[in-house]
Structure 1
Amino acid sequence: MSSTALHAADQSPDPADTAGAGGGWQVAGLPGALCVAALLIISVFEITARYGFNAPTFWATEISTYVGVAAVFFSLAYAEVRGEHVRVEAFLEQLPEARRVPILRLANWLGVVFIAFCSVELSRYMVADYTAGTRNWGLMSTLLWIPQVPVVLGLVGFTSILTCRAADGAGRKHVAVLIVAGAAVAGFCAGRKGLSVAGHTVPWSLLIVIGATAISAAITTGWRSGAVMAGLLGVACAAMMLAAGGGQAGAAIVILIFVFVFLALGMQVAVALGLVGALGLIFLPPIPQTVVVAERVWNGVNSFTYTAVPMFVLMGSLLMRAGISRSLFDGLVVWMGRIPGGLAQATLTASGLFAALSGSSIATAATIGKAAGQEMLDRGYKPSLALGSIAGGGTLGILIPPSVPMIIFAAMVGVSVTKLFVAGIVPGLMVLTSMMVAVWIWCLLKPEAGHTGRAYSMAEKARAFVQFGPFLGLIVIVIASLYFGVVTATEAGALGAALALILAGFSGKLSFDMIRGALLETAALTGGILFIVIGAGMLSWLVDYLRIATMLVEAVEGSGMPVVSVLLMLMVVYLILGMFIDPISMMLMTVTITYPIVLHAGYDALWFGIALMMMIEVGLITPPVGIILFVLRGLFPQASFKEISTGSLVFVGVILANVILIAVFPQIVTWLPSLMR
């Protein structure tokens, strides 16, 4: 889990907010933040031109796509500074500090190798496009080397930051950066030639980068650090060479082993997936596919669909900074106070609304939890009900649209983002209602668990509605504009962000510092999220090349397993993975393999997308290692982990029951999208 993801969630200061004017953090994040601002302006301009002047542009889609790509790569270094690149830390957290630090350093040195190698290959790719005068097929016929420049610059900046991070505490960081930079130049000059090793061609660019990184590690952190890094990569390369002649199963096992090894070392998920994919592309095919490495880096997020991600992230960031969480909870308490477990009911409803705005389960649990948890405990609620309802409500973060993971899933499988958003409305409301019913029954069976509040007058309810009504209206406008085809997903996010700015202005929270902080935060989160897409795309190409998904589908067919057994097996897999890996990373790691199996079982992409959102969220609140449980334990140290876990299990059961329900009646998911024009 990203360490600073919670800074935004609990509205505590982030690096961007605490740095002085012109501070290093702000300078590093400025290019990405400016790209996010440009994307917002372009989208709002397109909406205004189309509906205000009946003069739609011909360039907005193409330019927005390139600006979105630039925002991702310009933000990679800043995301690393803020700690927004996701790592799987469940294994490292079990180790003492003295052992954890050198392992993380090793992970960073491995990351330097991968990013530096990608910089070399993408630079060569860009020069080839420049020499050939390659142009985009779009209306603007853009020379492709122009939008590729920010990609190269972003990778170079990321390499430099990772090198400094790996050499943390050493006085020779600048020497390490210069050595790695010189190796990248030398690797570029070496061309596509390679060294023949046991019948395999190893690109000189890779060998030079590995050697230079090992030297940098030896100079700054000791010879053992460099030797272990080079040795581990040597073992990985040798294993890939041996697997090349071992068939699909052997190659799949090797890939799986090194993915988990690199993740266990604490590598950024994007880098771990990408490094395994790059090594596989070099050693598993008969001829090294280094061009594919560059092509995957360039085309990984070069899609208009992904430009919706920064817009929805920006909308959520602006609303969080406008104090929406407290307003939502306070207003809903007035409307639900007399219901059994009224505060818990208000917490669940506020979580559902906030989730629709933030798209983040962890942010939802942390933010609503901070506002509601202490109040429930102070009023005599049992910790199991109070904190369990916060954990359950947090799971709605990616199910109720708009949802960043839904955008990424839609782009991966080629389904309409708008239809997927609409498909999530009924199941999302169904899960929310089920949770509220569960709380109601809980309080009827155990009245001491919850507290029934006082009755409020209609005048008080009207004033409360004024508090949260505008935010509810924003959600309705965004979803309705998508449902009726008025705007694209990106434009819907931009519309929501623009409306969030207006609401912040009316609430008196709008300021330059607020906008700057939201833009910087959006840039960092976008870079951290979408770089995982790039790393996973590299690995997915390898999985497709090896036909691993086809092999698994054939195995399922041959086993004669009934559909129910297949679905139960996938549910168990996602439950286990969800305990250790964040939702987006888990989705990107598995969809290439599980999607064909689900199609074979007779379900479509829309159904799988919604079922997947529900399953990967369950892992966040499943004991013993659900991430949200630890977030709540940190917020409320007076509550025992057992009490939090006991309360969360009720909502785990509710979500699983709803998964079974949509499996039996898939029309629950497909009905509303089928009504769209």
Structure 2
Amino acid sequence: MITAIVVALLFAMLVIGTPVALALAVSGSLGLYMMGGTPMLMGILETTPLSTASSYELITIPMFILMAEFVVLSGVADDLFDAAAAWIGRLRGGLAMATALAGAGFGAISGSSTASAATLSSTTIPAMLRQGYEPKLATGVVAISGTLAMLIPPSIALILYGIIADVNIGDLLIGGVIPGLLVTLTIILTVAFLVWQDPARAPAGRSYTLREKLSKLRVVAPLLLLFLLVTGTIYSGIATPTEASGIGAFGALVLVALARRLSFGAVRASLLRSAEATCMILFIVLGAHIFGYFFTLTRTTNDLVALIGTLEVSRWAILAIIMVGYLILGCFMDQIAILILTVPIVLPVIQSLGFDPVWFGVLVVVTAEVGMVTPPLGLNAFVVARYTRRPLGEIFGGILPHFWAHLIVIALIAAFPAIVTWLPSTMGR
């Protein structure tokens, strides 16, 4: 009965727009008070903030957020799109395909989905519209390409999952590489199909000489080096994810200096934005820990695992139900909030069914990508609308073909776990 009251309060607070961190903390505190009174509640409230903030792995989050801020400040995303456009822009729909490549490249040195969507919106959409691309196609590919930053390392979503689930963060980040490339290829193939279906959606672009193409590649070198500094050191075992995040933030600062955009005001603004984003995430984690203590004491998760064990259905059917649940939640909630709210409950069920937690984490993040672009709260769609002044209905219409394509990718990753688990198995330790 207490559990039902607390869960109902949590969802009621979320429905009326209460910040996720506050909703988790208040509902969890009420549950603890109802179970053990003031002594139990105060004992947990006095110790939880320190135990939450003192986690060594949490250092990874502000460092990667700062790295993303510096990458945006350096302006390298513009050059990245220009380089991709020079090589494949001549194809019909080539600029849209170049947007997907730029999104993957930006995600590999950023980790922030909204930052990626914002940057791509201000650079690639004007270029596509000038060439006569269908606005729906242009905005849709930008919104979906921005989500690649959630999957390709460094990924804040995968780091949070690793912290919540107590899973090796290095394995998660490396496990996201092949699925990230698969999603990028899927976006490109979807664009190719749409253009083949109706050539009027995108004209062929201008051609570039080989010399021009090679000169454009110069901008890729520092980005590739930054990617190797982060993902390469994690994969080889040279650095932990926490150490690699610090290296990445410093490397991104060097990019800013090389671009001659380094100033006290710009660095200060980047640090402040990073601190604000980090505080928001830490507050959510703190609220989740309070709520998690309540769930642990009520043994709700254990009861759920026991109930699943009595069901005479395939474990794949249970997995499918869980994934559908994530797709539905993604339409209404922020992806970070979904991870923090659901993983402590769902992961024990997944492990009891014999599934790999690293594979499940990547699968959940790919599913969360879809939530970033689905109505009514597809955050990336709103970011694109803000920067382009295009109607939301048009943007969601452009996203729809990519939504169906993403469902196919989710099914492939679910059916073939080696897509995720193979690369981590080859890592240096």
Q: How many angstroms does 1:476 deviate by?
A: 2.3
2:4 corresponds to? 253
> 3-state SS of the aligned residue for 1:455?
coil
Identify the match of residue 399 of structure 2 among 648, 666, 672. 648
Counterparts of 1:319-330 in structure 2, within 5 Å, are: 319-330=71-82
Change (3 A) 1:502 1:635: closer
Q: How many angstroms does 1:612 deviate by?
A: 0.9
1:362 corresponds to? 114
1:389 corresponds to? 141
2:408 corresponds to? 657
The answer to whether the Cα contact below 8 Å between 2:332 and 2:376 also exists between their aligned partners in 1 is: no
The answer to whether the Cα contact below 8 Å between 2:6 and 2:30 also exists between their aligned partners in 1 is: no
Are residue 438 (structure 1) and residue 190 (structure 2) matched?
A: yes
1:339 corresponds to? 91
2:25 corresponds to? 274
The answer to whether the Cα contact below 8 Å between 1:578 and 1:620 also exists between their aligned partners in 2 is: yes
1:606 corresponds to? 358
1:585 corresponds to? 337
Q: Letter of the 2:229 partner, please give it.
A: I
1:570 corresponds to? 322
The answer to whether the Cα contact below 8 Å between 1:395 and 1:617 also exists between their aligned partners in 2 is: yes
Are residue 265 (structure 1) and residue 33 (structure 2) matched?
A: no
1:555 corresponds to? 307
The answer to whether the Cα contact below 8 Å between 1:340 and 1:450 also exists between their aligned partners in 2 is: yes
Identify the match of residue 474 of structure 1 among 211, 216, 226. 226
1:199 corresponds to? none
1:162 corresponds to? none
The answer to whether the Cα contact below 8 Å between 1:281 and 1:290 also exists between their aligned partners in 2 is: no
Q: How many angstroms does 1:636 deviate by?
A: 2.8
TM-score, normalised relative to structure 2:
0.96
2:419 corresponds to? 668
2:173 corresponds to? 421
Aligned partners of 2:421 and 2:71: how far apart in 1? 31
TM-score, normalised relative to structure 1:
0.61
Aligned partners of 2:425 and 2:106: how far apart in 1? 27
Q: How many angstroms does 1:280 deviate by?
A: 1.4
The answer to whether the Cα contact below 8 Å between 1:373 and 1:386 also exists between their aligned partners in 2 is: yes
Are residue 617 (structure 1) and residue 369 (structure 2) matched?
A: yes
Query: In percent, how many aligned pairs have the same letter?
Result: 36
Unmatched segments (≥5 aa) in structure 1: 1-249
Give the paired residue count.
427
Q: How many angstroms does 1:346 deviate by?
A: 0.9
Aligned partners of 1:480 and 1:359: how far apart in 2? 15
Aligned partners of 2:221 and 2:105: how far apart in 1? 11
Aligned partners of 2:46 and 2:380: how far apart in 1? 36
Are residue 371 (structure 1) and residue 103 (structure 2) matched?
A: no
> 3-state SS of the aligned residue for 1:284?
helix
The answer to whether the Cα contact below 8 Å between 1:281 and 1:293 also exists between their aligned partners in 2 is: no
Identify the match of residue 41 of structure 2 among 289, 293, 296. 289
Aligned partners of 2:100 and 2:395: how far apart in 1? 16
The answer to whether the Cα contact below 8 Å between 2:131 and 2:205 also exists between their aligned partners in 1 is: no
1:383-435 deviations in whole A, cap 9, x for unaligned? 22111101110221211111112112111111111111111111111111111
Are residue 629 (structure 1) and residue 381 (structure 2) matched?
A: yes
Aligned partners of 1:580 and 1:292: how far apart in 2? 30
Identify the match of residue 157 of structure 2 among 405, 415, 423. 405
1:314 corresponds to? 66
Aligned partners of 2:299 and 2:92: how far apart in 1? 54
Higher normalized contact order (CA 8 Å, seq sep 6+, divided by chain length)? 2
1:36 corresponds to? none
1:518 corresponds to? 270
Structure with higher Rg: it is: 1
Aligned partners of 2:365 and 2:53: how far apart in 1? 21
1:101 corresponds to? none
Q: Letter of the 2:159 partner, please give it.
A: I
Are residue 491 (structure 1) and residue 243 (structure 2) matched?
A: yes
Q: How many angstroms does 1:646 deviate by?
A: 2.0
Q: Letter of the 2:24 partner, please give it.
A: L
The answer to whether the Cα contact below 8 Å between 1:481 and 1:487 also exists between their aligned partners in 2 is: yes
Aligned partners of 2:200 and 2:44: how far apart in 1? 62
The answer to whether the Cα contact below 8 Å between 1:579 and 1:627 also exists between their aligned partners in 2 is: no
1:203-252 deviations in whole A, cap 9, x for unaligned? xxxxxxxxxxxxxxxxxxxxxxxxxxxxxxxxxxxxxxxxxxxxxxx222
1:628-648 deviations in whole A, cap 9, x for unaligned? 2222223333x4433322221
Aligned partners of 2:29 and 2:169: how far apart in 1? 29
Q: How many angstroms does 1:332 deviate by?
A: 1.5
Aligned partners of 2:31 and 2:4: how far apart in 1? 12
1:23 corresponds to? none
Q: Letter of the 1:295 partner, please give it.
A: T
1:35-85 deviations in whole A, cap 9, x for unaligned? xxxxxxxxxxxxxxxxxxxxxxxxxxxxxxxxxxxxxxxxxxxxxxxxxxx
Aligned partners of 2:228 and 2:92: how far apart in 1? 28
Counterparts of 1:136-155 in structure 2, within 5 Å, are: none
Counterparts of 1:226-245 in structure 2, within 5 Å, are: none
Q: Letter of the 2:349 partner, please give it.
A: I
